[in-house]
Structure 1
Amino acid sequence: MSNVDNMSAAMAIPPILRLAFRPLFLGGTLFSMIAIAWWAYFWSAPFDWQPYGGPIWWHGHEMLFGFGAAIVVGFLLTAVQSWTGVPGVKGNKLAVLASSWLLGRLLIAFGASLPGWVVMLGDLSFLLIGAIAMAYPVIKVKQWRNLMFVPILLVLMLLNAMSHWGTLNGRTVLALNALHGATLLIALVIAIIGGRVIPFFTANASSYTRLPNIGWLDGLSIGSIIALVLIAFIGFSEVPSALLAVLSLVAAVANGWRFLRWGVGHTLKIPLLWSLHFSYLFIPAGMVALFLFSIGWLGSISIALHCFTVGAMGGMILAMISRVTLGHTGRKLQPPKLMTLGYILILVAAVFRVLLPGLFPSFTQWGILIAAILWVAAYAIYLFYYAPMLLYPRVDGRPG
């Protein structure tokens, strides 16, 4: 087929199905707003609502596997095209992938009366298809450095399966531990990708001179989080507190030291950069909270978990997708001015969600409600400006 034919075929695909970031960023962010708003409403005015898995499980599961997994897969399947030079998944194949994600959300929201195995298999299909789509281009060009994301997606799928299994068999602790493991696994993905892109982006867009990586420091940062993924799945209370304390302290120091070498001081006038830096800072902050929990200074693991989810995941995702969407729709890397407010709102949401319940437990409900309002507002700003970019063709006339 000639290049002209290839171009014609590519341009005949509906824009929303031309690259994975388009449907998954759009669907994931919109879903997060709906899910967070619903959760805040339920929390502020409790009523008789018994979704599949129960309210607590539903909230944790859907923010990780409904929102987080959608963005992670959308980012990886978009980035792998740039990494390998192999065309990304698009058209009908992308429609199948996106439909499998949507199927999972619908089954969990409305499938409580269905056999549990139907809901579980429908939900698991998304990460399985995503892992296969990620593996194909990497294996084709033998780019083994990026093959690690395939087992990460498969382990994420396994944790999802274990959480479903625990829910269906009355093993509530196992179901929640699997979600805790998934939380740390997504933090691991952020640590890996953040270590690649944050110093690179900072050096390219500021006066910062990128420092060479310290191999053992990167290994310690990543390795300590991997160990904590396993501990989270086993159960934080099931391992010796000294082991949890040592690993969380190592992870906090290593990731904090790593962060300090990325030139945050050069980013304060560039929202597209400082949003990435300050979001990443919630990983060492979460590790500090985990350390304080392990030595008995914090009574709940929730503070650490919400550092990872609202702060690191929510903040980093908003910063990354606003950048990726611009770049992959042929635009300059200059986000709309109001996106700066979005970056601020999501970081403030994390602070309220972490500190208000942590310092003033009687105000926990207010912390949840305020954080939810700020989250919805932040992502509403993204959707207002970026949804048209995701739905319409690139401005430079190229496919993708």
Structure 2
Amino acid sequence: MSNVDNTSAALASTPILRLAFRPLFLGGTLFSLIAISWWAYFWASPFDWQPYGGPIWWHGHEMLFGFGAAIVVGFLLTAVQSWTGVPGVKGNKLAVLASAWLLGRLLVAFGAGLPGWVVAVGDLSFLFLSALAMAYPVIKVKQWRNLMFVPILLVLMMLNAVSHWGTLIGDALVALHSLHGATLLTALVITIVGGRVIPFFTSSASGYTRLPNIGWLDGLSIGSIIALVIVAFIGFSVVPAPLLAVLSLVAAVSNGWRFLRWGIAHTLNIPLLWSLHFSYLFIPVGMVALFLFSMGWLTNISIALHCFTVGAMGGMILAMISRVTLGHTGRKLQPPKLMTLGYILILIAAAVRVLLPALLPSFTNWGIVGAAALWVAAYSIYLFYYAPMLVSARVDGRPG
């Protein structure tokens, strides 16, 4: 009887509030189109725009904590239901969580005239509530393996808080270093989640016999990025260059070796798979760029950071949400054919954003605007096909 009651209660909620991926994938991707379009317009035709924290801070902060955090939380709070068997956050509680995310975006965008602590507290509330929502089911069933995502969310909230604090006291370096730390923390999440799902999805869909994990290699790939999160927070230019060189080289080699064991050769005719593989590839590529920066052979740290944000984060998110949305709305894992173009466009966007400034510095502006246009095109394809799925009930009639 309790199962019937639980199912009835779940189906009574409006579809968009039945699981966290629905409002957060929709809101996060739509927000990214707005934020990236606005940023490209401002970059192409600078004007007197002074948002809370300044334009540079706003762009970095909102792509990490507005777009990235929404998708990460939407994925985790959806996945944790499958991992633990405990019903995910939904209904009114999910509405509060999604509203906290939206409040943060509005305060950061339009709160320049408000007391800074009001903007900061409003923005931080989303990650705090997300950590609580993630902790409850994991602790309830004592599934300690997945508890690691709770401190990750709390550290992400801490980095956000320090970034706000740097903005409030007028210390641009503190604010910037916190965003760099959040960028590497996002790379860490991709490394952990990617290491779980990419080999599994590849073996399941392609028939490829999955190679067993190498424990020390996984530990080295993850541990080196944890160390780089700390280095980024302290400041890439502050820590000794040899330390940054060693850590980035270890991260590049270990993550590259790990990646090569996942069977990319068996995915080339399956867009849902190769999109994940090629996006993850930007993790070791970004680490190589960090190494080149530490050696003084690359002067622009932004090139490495955008490997992680546009390449790894932008590409992995597009690939994952197009898969997760299909699966959790009761559909076959066959994305619309035009999504293949979306996967290609986001990877080209990353290449343009990274390579043009690196190889042709005089074309940096073209690289930024061109990458933005490609991002908007890629995520517009997702929204066109998937927004109706996110706001409507599962096709198989089940809750979720």
TM-score by length of 2: 1.00
- Secondary structure of 2:138's counterpart equals helix
How much does 1:208 deviate? Answer: 1.2
Partner of 1:180: 180
Partner of 2:290: 290
- AA paired with 1:238? V
- AA paired with 1:341? L
* Distance in 1 (alpha carbons) for counterparts of 2:298 and 2:44: 24
Partner of 2:235: 235
Partner of 1:79: 79
The residue correspondences of 1:70-219 to structure 2 (distance < 5 A) are: 70-219=70-219
- Secondary structure of 1:147's counterpart equals helix
1:344 matched to 2:344: yes
Q: Determine what percentage of the aligned residue pairs are the same residue.
A: 86
* Distance in 1 (alpha carbons) for counterparts of 2:52 and 2:4: 50
Partner of 2:310: 310
Deviating runs (4+, > 4 A) in structure 1? none
- AA paired with 2:273? L
1:373 matched to 2:373: yes
* Distance in 2 (alpha carbons) for counterparts of 1:8 and 1:330: 18
**Which string of whole-angstrom CA distances, capped at 9 and with x for unpartnered residues, describes residues 201-235 of structure 1?**
00000031100000000000000000000000000
**Which string of whole-angstrom CA distances, capped at 9 and with x for unpartnered residues, describes residues 181-209 of structure 1?**
00000000000000000000000000311
1:325 matched to 2:352: no
How much does 1:4 deviate? Answer: 2.9
1:301 matched to 2:326: no
1:66 matched to 2:81: no
**Which string of whole-angstrom CA distances, capped at 9 and with x for unpartnered residues, describes residues 19-78 of structure 1?**
000000000000001000000000000000000000000000000000000000000000
**Which string of whole-angstrom CA distances, capped at 9 and with x for unpartnered residues, describes residues 118-145 of structure 1?**
0000000000000000000000000000
**Which string of whole-angstrom CA distances, capped at 9 and with x for unpartnered residues, describes residues 246-273 of structure 1?**
0000000000000000000000000000
**Which string of whole-angstrom CA distances, capped at 9 and with x for unpartnered residues, describes residues 324-354 of structure 1?**
0000000000000000000000000000000
* Distance in 1 (alpha carbons) for counterparts of 2:391 and 2:327: 15
How much does 1:304 deviate? Answer: 0.3
Partner of 1:10: 10
Query: How many residues of Structure 1 are paired with residues of Structure 2 in the alignment?
Result: 400
**Which string of whole-angstrom CA distances, capped at 9 and with x for unpartnered residues, describes residues 286-342 of structure 1?**
000000000000011000000000000000000000000000000000000000000
* Distance in 1 (alpha carbons) for counterparts of 2:207 and 2:147: 33
- Secondary structure of 2:237's counterpart equals helix
How much does 1:9 deviate? Answer: 1.5
- Secondary structure of 1:238's counterpart equals coil
* Distance in 1 (alpha carbons) for counterparts of 2:298 and 2:186: 23
- Secondary structure of 2:332's counterpart equals coil
1:46 matched to 2:57: no
Once the two structures are overlaid, the 10-residue window that deviates more, 288-297 or 4-13, is: 4-13
- AA paired with 1:31? F
* Distance in 2 (alpha carbons) for counterparts of 1:392 and 1:290: 43
The residue correspondences of 1:250-261 to structure 2 (distance < 5 A) are: 250-261=250-261
How much does 1:87 deviate? Answer: 0.2
- Secondary structure of 1:145's counterpart equals helix
* Distance in 1 (alpha carbons) for counterparts of 2:174 and 2:286: 22
* Distance in 2 (alpha carbons) for counterparts of 1:131 and 1:207: 36
- AA paired with 1:57? W
How much does 1:10 deviate? Answer: 1.2
* Distance in 2 (alpha carbons) for counterparts of 1:10 and 1:75: 19
* Distance in 2 (alpha carbons) for counterparts of 1:54 and 1:4: 52
* Distance in 2 (alpha carbons) for counterparts of 1:148 and 1:240: 29
* Distance in 2 (alpha carbons) for counterparts of 1:307 and 1:124: 26
1:25 matched to 2:17: no
Q: Indicate the RMSD between aligned Cα atoms, in angstroms.
A: 0.6
TM-score by length of 1: 1.00
- Secondary structure of 2:210's counterpart equals coil
* Distance in 2 (alpha carbons) for counterparts of 1:208 and 1:285: 25
- Secondary structure of 1:276's counterpart equals helix
* Distance in 1 (alpha carbons) for counterparts of 2:231 and 2:137: 32
How much does 1:3 deviate? Answer: 3.1
- AA paired with 2:103? L
- Secondary structure of 2:166's counterpart equals helix
- Secondary structure of 1:317's counterpart equals helix
Partner of 1:279: 279
* Distance in 1 (alpha carbons) for counterparts of 2:324 and 2:2: 29
* Distance in 2 (alpha carbons) for counterparts of 1:277 and 1:283: 11
